[in-house]
Protein backbone atom coordinates (compact mmCIF):
# COMPACT_ATOMS: atom_id res chain seq x y z
CA UNK A 1 0.00 0.00 0.00
CA UNK A 2 1.35 3.40 -0.96
CA UNK A 3 1.51 5.91 1.85
CA UNK A 4 0.59 8.81 -0.46
CA UNK A 5 -2.89 7.32 -1.00
CA UNK A 6 -3.53 6.47 2.62
CA UNK A 7 -6.61 7.97 4.24
CA UNK A 8 -5.71 6.34 7.57
CA UNK A 9 -2.33 5.49 9.08
CA UNK A 10 -2.07 3.94 12.53
CA UNK A 11 1.57 4.03 13.56
CA UNK A 12 2.75 1.80 16.39
CA UNK A 13 0.04 2.77 18.85
CA UNK A 14 -0.29 1.65 22.42
CA UNK A 15 -3.60 1.97 24.25
CA UNK A 16 -4.13 1.89 28.00
CA UNK A 17 -7.33 1.80 30.03
CA UNK A 18 -7.43 3.56 33.41
CA UNK A 19 -3.77 4.55 32.80
CA UNK A 20 -2.52 1.06 33.72
CA UNK A 21 -4.11 -1.72 31.63
CA UNK A 22 -2.15 -2.08 28.38
CA UNK A 23 -4.56 -3.31 25.70
CA UNK A 24 -2.87 -2.49 22.38
CA UNK A 25 0.87 -3.00 21.97
CA UNK A 26 2.51 -1.38 18.94
CA UNK A 27 -0.37 -1.69 16.44
CA UNK A 28 0.21 -0.38 12.90
CA UNK A 29 -2.49 -0.42 10.20
CA UNK A 30 -2.84 1.41 6.90
CA UNK A 31 -5.94 1.98 4.79
CA UNK A 32 -5.90 3.48 1.32
CA UNK A 33 -8.46 6.07 0.26
CA UNK A 34 -11.49 4.24 -1.16
CA UNK A 35 -10.23 0.87 0.07
CA UNK A 36 -11.59 -1.86 2.33
CA UNK A 37 -9.34 -3.43 4.95
CA UNK A 38 -10.39 -6.15 7.40
CA UNK A 39 -9.17 -6.50 10.97
CA UNK A 40 -9.50 -10.12 12.10
CA UNK A 41 -9.04 -11.90 15.39
CA UNK A 42 -10.74 -13.73 18.22
CA UNK A 43 -12.81 -12.12 20.98
CA UNK A 44 -10.68 -9.90 23.20
CA UNK A 45 -7.89 -9.50 20.65
CA UNK A 46 -8.22 -5.68 20.70
CA UNK A 47 -10.15 -5.11 17.48
CA UNK A 48 -12.94 -2.94 18.93
CA UNK A 49 -10.40 -1.01 21.00
CA UNK A 50 -8.53 -0.20 17.77
CA UNK A 51 -11.71 1.21 16.19
CA UNK A 52 -12.49 3.26 19.30
CA UNK A 53 -8.94 4.64 19.29
CA UNK A 54 -9.59 5.93 15.75
CA UNK A 55 -13.08 7.34 16.42
CA UNK A 56 -12.17 8.93 19.75
CA UNK A 57 -14.69 6.81 21.67
CA UNK A 58 -11.93 5.39 23.90
CA UNK A 59 -12.21 8.45 26.11
CA UNK A 60 -15.73 7.48 27.17
CA UNK A 61 -14.26 4.28 28.65
CA UNK A 62 -11.25 5.94 30.33
CA UNK A 63 -8.92 4.70 27.61
CA UNK A 64 -6.27 6.63 25.73
CA UNK A 65 -3.60 6.29 23.09
CA UNK A 66 -0.40 6.49 25.15
CA UNK A 67 2.16 5.98 22.39
CA UNK A 68 2.39 6.12 18.60
CA UNK A 69 0.02 8.13 16.39
CA UNK A 70 -3.15 7.92 14.31
CA UNK A 71 -3.22 10.05 11.15
CA UNK A 72 -6.34 10.71 9.09
CA UNK A 73 -5.84 12.45 5.75
CA UNK A 74 -2.30 13.32 6.92
CA UNK A 75 -3.40 14.94 10.20
CA UNK A 76 -3.00 13.51 13.70
CA UNK A 77 -6.31 12.73 15.38
CA UNK A 78 -5.34 10.49 18.32
CA UNK A 79 -5.96 13.26 20.85
CA UNK A 80 -8.96 14.85 19.11
CA UNK A 81 -12.46 14.79 20.58
CA UNK A 82 -14.87 12.19 19.17
CA UNK A 83 -17.22 14.94 17.90
CA UNK A 84 -14.43 16.59 15.88
CA UNK A 85 -13.33 13.24 14.44
CA UNK A 86 -16.93 12.56 13.36
CA UNK A 87 -17.17 16.02 11.76
CA UNK A 88 -13.99 15.25 9.80
CA UNK A 89 -15.75 12.30 8.15
CA UNK A 90 -15.06 9.23 10.32
CA UNK A 91 -18.09 7.33 11.59
CA UNK A 92 -18.08 4.17 13.70
CA UNK A 93 -20.90 1.64 13.47
CA UNK A 94 -20.67 0.15 16.95
CA UNK A 95 -21.13 -3.56 17.56
CA UNK A 96 -24.57 -4.59 18.78
CA UNK A 97 -26.91 -2.45 16.64
CA UNK A 98 -27.18 0.69 18.78
CA UNK A 99 -30.49 2.11 17.62
CA UNK A 100 -32.89 4.52 19.31
CA UNK A 101 -35.56 1.91 20.01
CA UNK A 102 -38.47 4.30 20.61
CA UNK A 103 -37.88 6.31 17.42
CA UNK A 104 -39.05 5.19 13.99
CA UNK A 105 -36.56 3.83 11.46
CA UNK A 106 -36.62 7.13 9.55
CA UNK A 107 -36.17 9.19 12.72
CA UNK A 108 -33.13 7.04 13.51
CA UNK A 109 -31.72 7.79 10.06
CA UNK A 110 -32.31 11.53 10.50
CA UNK A 111 -30.16 11.51 13.66
CA UNK A 112 -27.13 11.06 11.36
CA UNK A 113 -28.09 14.09 9.26
CA UNK A 114 -26.73 16.70 11.70
CA UNK A 115 -23.21 15.95 10.42
CA UNK A 116 -24.09 16.44 6.73
CA UNK A 117 -22.10 19.13 4.97
CA UNK A 118 -23.83 19.08 1.59
CA UNK A 119 -27.28 18.26 0.29
CA UNK A 120 -30.54 18.08 2.18
CA UNK A 121 -31.82 15.51 4.66
CA UNK A 122 -34.20 14.40 1.88
CA UNK A 123 -31.21 13.73 -0.41
CA UNK A 124 -29.59 11.67 2.32
CA UNK A 125 -32.74 9.62 2.91
CA UNK A 126 -33.08 8.97 -0.82
CA UNK A 127 -29.51 7.65 -0.91
CA UNK A 128 -30.09 5.38 2.11
CA UNK A 129 -33.35 4.03 0.68
CA UNK A 130 -31.62 3.43 -2.67
CA UNK A 131 -29.06 1.16 -0.98
CA UNK A 132 -31.46 -0.27 1.62
CA UNK A 133 -34.81 -0.63 -0.20
CA UNK A 134 -36.01 -2.92 2.59
CA UNK A 135 -36.09 0.13 4.90
CA UNK A 136 -38.57 2.03 2.70
CA UNK A 137 -41.51 -0.06 3.89
CA UNK A 138 -40.21 0.07 7.49
CA UNK A 139 -39.54 3.82 7.60
CA UNK A 140 -42.49 4.64 9.88
CA UNK A 141 -42.17 1.58 12.11
CA UNK A 142 -40.69 1.85 15.61
CA UNK A 143 -37.08 0.72 15.27
CA UNK A 144 -37.19 -1.44 18.40
CA UNK A 145 -39.74 -3.70 16.70
CA UNK A 146 -38.09 -4.32 13.33
CA UNK A 147 -35.88 -7.38 12.78
CA UNK A 148 -32.20 -7.57 13.75
CA UNK A 149 -31.18 -7.33 10.10
CA UNK A 150 -33.33 -4.25 9.57
CA UNK A 151 -31.84 -2.67 12.69
CA UNK A 152 -28.35 -3.33 11.32
CA UNK A 153 -29.37 -1.74 8.00
CA UNK A 154 -30.71 1.24 9.97
CA UNK A 155 -27.44 1.85 11.83
CA UNK A 156 -25.38 1.51 8.63
CA UNK A 157 -27.89 3.82 6.90
CA UNK A 158 -27.59 6.32 9.76
CA UNK A 159 -23.81 6.29 9.26
CA UNK A 160 -24.34 6.89 5.54
CA UNK A 161 -26.49 9.95 6.37
CA UNK A 162 -23.39 11.66 7.79
CA UNK A 163 -21.70 11.61 4.35
CA UNK A 164 -18.69 9.73 5.74
CA UNK A 165 -15.29 9.38 4.11
CA UNK A 166 -14.30 6.50 6.41
CA UNK A 167 -16.64 3.99 8.06
CA UNK A 168 -15.46 1.81 10.96
CA UNK A 169 -17.68 -1.28 10.95
CA UNK A 170 -17.65 -3.39 14.10
CA UNK A 171 -19.00 -6.95 13.69
CA UNK A 172 -21.85 -6.14 11.26
CA UNK A 173 -22.72 -9.85 10.85
CA UNK A 174 -23.15 -10.57 14.56
CA UNK A 175 -26.38 -12.42 15.37
CA UNK A 176 -27.78 -12.24 11.84
CA UNK A 177 -29.12 -15.01 9.60
CA UNK A 178 -26.80 -16.01 6.71
CA UNK A 179 -29.09 -14.58 3.99
CA UNK A 180 -29.24 -11.21 5.73
CA UNK A 181 -25.47 -11.19 6.25
CA UNK A 182 -25.02 -11.76 2.51
CA UNK A 183 -27.44 -8.92 1.70
CA UNK A 184 -25.78 -6.45 4.10
CA UNK A 185 -22.27 -7.25 2.89
CA UNK A 186 -23.34 -6.85 -0.75
CA UNK A 187 -24.62 -3.38 0.14
CA UNK A 188 -21.41 -2.52 2.02
CA UNK A 189 -19.37 -3.53 -1.05
CA UNK A 190 -21.60 -1.38 -3.28
CA UNK A 191 -21.22 1.63 -0.96
CA UNK A 192 -17.46 1.25 -1.16
CA UNK A 193 -17.41 1.00 -4.95
CA UNK A 194 -20.08 3.57 -5.82
CA UNK A 195 -19.73 6.14 -3.02
CA UNK A 196 -15.92 5.64 -2.66
CA UNK A 197 -16.30 5.28 1.11
CA UNK A 198 -13.21 3.81 2.79
CA UNK A 199 -14.06 0.95 5.17
CA UNK A 200 -12.20 -0.60 8.09
CA UNK A 201 -14.08 -3.80 8.87
CA UNK A 202 -13.82 -5.71 12.14
CA UNK A 203 -15.35 -9.14 11.68
CA UNK A 204 -15.13 -12.52 13.42
CA UNK A 205 -16.50 -14.28 10.34
CA UNK A 206 -13.07 -14.57 8.74
CA UNK A 207 -14.21 -16.26 5.52
CA UNK A 208 -16.75 -13.51 4.89
CA UNK A 209 -14.27 -10.72 5.70
CA UNK A 210 -11.61 -12.14 3.38
CA UNK A 211 -14.19 -12.24 0.57
CA UNK A 212 -15.13 -8.58 1.06
CA UNK A 213 -11.77 -6.95 1.89
CA UNK A 214 -8.79 -7.28 -0.49
CA UNK A 215 -6.33 -6.79 2.40
CA UNK A 216 -6.47 -7.88 6.03
CA UNK A 217 -4.63 -7.67 9.35
CA UNK A 218 -4.76 -10.42 11.97
CA UNK A 219 -4.75 -9.37 15.61
CA UNK A 220 -3.96 -11.45 18.71
CA UNK A 221 -3.74 -10.19 22.29
CA UNK A 222 -3.32 -6.54 21.32
CA UNK A 223 -0.75 -7.05 18.56
CA UNK A 224 -0.84 -7.38 14.78
CA UNK A 225 0.60 -10.82 14.13
CA UNK A 226 0.12 -11.01 10.37
CA UNK A 227 -1.05 -8.91 7.43
CA UNK A 228 -1.30 -9.63 3.72
CA UNK A 229 -3.68 -9.74 0.78
CA UNK A 230 -6.84 -11.67 1.55
CA UNK A 231 -6.01 -14.14 -1.20
CA UNK A 232 -2.66 -14.96 0.44
CA UNK A 233 -4.13 -15.08 3.96
CA UNK A 234 -6.95 -17.42 2.92
CA UNK A 235 -4.33 -19.92 1.72
CA UNK A 236 -2.15 -19.56 4.83
CA UNK A 237 -2.05 -22.75 6.92
CA UNK A 238 -2.17 -20.86 10.24
CA UNK A 239 -5.26 -18.92 9.14
CA UNK A 240 -6.94 -22.07 7.80
CA UNK A 241 -6.17 -23.96 10.96
CA UNK A 242 -6.87 -21.37 13.62
CA UNK A 243 -9.54 -19.14 12.07
CA UNK A 244 -11.22 -21.13 9.33
CA UNK A 245 -11.14 -24.42 11.28
CA UNK A 246 -9.62 -26.25 8.33
CA UNK A 247 -6.66 -28.60 8.34
CA UNK A 248 -3.95 -28.59 5.71
CA UNK A 249 -5.81 -31.16 3.59
CA UNK A 250 -9.02 -29.14 3.70
CA UNK A 251 -10.73 -31.32 6.30
CA UNK A 252 -12.85 -29.60 8.92
CA UNK A 253 -11.16 -29.38 12.31
CA UNK A 254 -13.06 -29.88 15.51
CA UNK A 255 -12.91 -27.26 18.28
CA UNK A 256 -10.90 -29.78 20.34
CA UNK A 257 -8.24 -29.83 17.60
CA UNK A 258 -8.26 -26.08 17.17
CA UNK A 259 -8.03 -25.18 20.83
CA UNK A 260 -4.89 -27.30 21.20
CA UNK A 261 -3.36 -25.56 18.20
CA UNK A 262 0.10 -24.16 18.93
CA UNK A 263 0.80 -20.91 17.14
CA UNK A 264 4.06 -20.84 15.28
CA UNK A 265 6.98 -18.92 16.70
CA UNK A 266 6.68 -16.09 14.18
CA UNK A 267 3.23 -15.26 15.57
CA UNK A 268 4.81 -14.36 18.85
CA UNK A 269 7.73 -12.34 17.52
Least confident of 43-47, 86-90, 93-97, 129-133: 93-97
Task: Round the average pLDDT of the chain to a whole number and report it.
Answer: 87
Q: What is the pLDDT of residues 66-118, one digit of tens each?
A: 999 999 999 999 999 999 999 999 999 987 668 889 999 999 999 888 777 77
Which 3 state secondary structure label does DSSP give 267?
Answer: helix
Q: What is the pLDDT of residues 188-238, one digit of tens each?
A: 999 999 999 999 999 888 888 999 999 999 999 999 999 999 999 999 888
- Please tell me the predicted confidence (pLDDT) of residue 38: 96
Predicted TM-score (pTM) of the model is: 0.87
Percent of the chain's residues with pLDDT above 70: 88
Domains for the chain: give ranges and CATH numbers: 1-89+165-227 (3.40.50.300), 101-163 (no CATH), 236-269 (no CATH)
- Please tell me the predicted confidence (pLDDT) of residue 254: 42
Sign of CA dihedral 225, 64, 169, 96: positive
- Please tell me the predicted confidence (pLDDT) of residue 96: 67
| Helix %, strand %, coil % of the chain (to 5) | 40, 25, 30
Cβ-based neighbour number of residue 3 at 10 Å: 10
pLDDT class for 48, splitting at 50, 70, 90? Answer: very high
Amino acid sequence: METSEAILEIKNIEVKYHEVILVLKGVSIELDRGGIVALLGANGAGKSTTLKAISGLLKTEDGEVTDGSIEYEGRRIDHDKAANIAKAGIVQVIEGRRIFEHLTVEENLKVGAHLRKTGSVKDGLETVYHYFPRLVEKRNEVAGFVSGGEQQMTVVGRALMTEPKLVLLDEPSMGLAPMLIHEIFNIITKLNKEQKISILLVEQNVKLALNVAPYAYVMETGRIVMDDTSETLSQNEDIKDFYLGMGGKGEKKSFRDVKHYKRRKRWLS
